[in-house]
Amino acid sequence: MTIASCLIDVPHPGEFIREELDARGWSQRDLAYILGVPEQAVNLITSGKRGISPEMAKALGKAFDVSADYFANLQQAYEMANARAPDPAVERRAKLQNAFPIREMIKRGWLADTDIGLLEAQVMRFFCKNDLADVPHMAHAAKKADYSETSPFQLAWLFRVRQIAAEMVAPVYSAAKLRALVADLPRYMKHAEEIRHMPRLLAECGVRFVIVETLPKANIDGVCFWLDDNAPVVGLTTRHDRIDNFWFVLRHELEHVLNGDGRGELNGEQIDVDLEAAGGRDDLPPAERKANAAAQDCCVPATELESFYTRKYPYIAEKDVIGFAGRLGRHPGIVVGQLQRRMDRYDWLTRHKVKVRQFLMGNSVVDGWGDVAPVSL
The residue-averaged pLDDT of 143-154 equals 64
| Average pLDDT along the chain | 88
Are 73 and 93 contained in the same domain?
A: no
pLDDT digits (tens, 9 = 90+) for 306-357: 999 999 999 999 999 999 999 999 999 999 999 998 998 989 999 999 999 9
- CA dist 262 and 142 (Å) reads 10
Q: What is the percent of the chain where pLDDT is above 70?
A: 89
**Which one of 225-229, 273-277, 283-287 scores highest in mean pLDDT?**
225-229
> Which of 187, 266, 265, 202 has the alpha carbon at shortest distance from 235?
202
Task: Identify the pLDDT of residue 111.
Answer: 96
DSSP string, 287-301: HHHHHHHHHHHHHS-
> 365 - beta bridge partners?
210
In a domain, 373, yes or no: no
Q: Which residue would you say has higher pLDDT here, 87 or 321?
A: 321
- CA dist 50 and 75 (Å) reads 10
Are 119 and 221 contained in the same domain?
A: no
Question: What's 371's DSSP letter?
Answer: B
Task: Identify the pLDDT of residue 67.
Answer: 94
Q: Is the pLDDT of residue 168 over 70?
A: yes
Task: Give Cα 351 to chain centroid, integer Å.
Answer: 29
Q: Is the pLDDT of residue 2 over 50?
A: no
Are 36 and 156 contained in the same domain?
A: no
In a domain, 117, yes or no: yes
Phi, psi for 262 (deg, rounded to 5): 80, 0
Are 72 and 176 contained in the same domain?
A: no
Are 252 and 212 contained in the same domain?
A: yes
Are 58 and 113 contained in the same domain?
A: no
Question: What's 271's DSSP letter?
Answer: E
Are 40 and 174 contained in the same domain?
A: no
Q: Tell me, what amino acid is at 10?
A: V
Task: Identify the pLDDT of residue 129.
Answer: 87
Task: Identify the pLDDT of residue 218.
Answer: 84
**Domain hosting residue 121, numbered range:** 88-125
- CA dist 346 and 153 (Å) reads 28
In a domain, 130, yes or no: no
Q: Which residue would you say has higher pLDDT here, 197 or 277?
A: 197
In a domain, 164, yes or no: yes
Are 212 and 273 contained in the same domain?
A: yes
Q: Is the pLDDT of residue 142 over 70?
A: no
In a domain, 132, yes or no: no
Are 224 and 304 contained in the same domain?
A: yes
How many structural domains compose the chain? 3
In a domain, 185, yes or no: yes
Question: What's 130's DSSP letter?
Answer: S
| Beta carbons within 8 Å of 59's beta carbon, 6+ residues apart | 35, 37
Task: Identify the pLDDT of residue 131.
Answer: 84
SS3 track for 176-240: HHHHHHHHHHHHHCCCHHHHHHHHHHHHHCCCEEEEECCCCCCCCCEEEEECCCCCEEEEECCCC
Task: Identify the pLDDT of residue 136.
Answer: 54
In a domain, 377, yes or no: no
In a domain, 148, yes or no: yes
Q: Flag the least confident range among 37-51, 62-76, 274-288, 316-330.
A: 274-288
Task: Identify the pLDDT of residue 377.
Answer: 63
The residue-averaged pLDDT of 183-198 equals 97
Are 231 and 343 contained in the same domain?
A: yes
Question: Are the CB atoms for 327 and 350 separated by under 8 Å?
Answer: no
Single pTM value for the model: 0.81
Task: Identify the pLDDT of residue 86.
Answer: 82
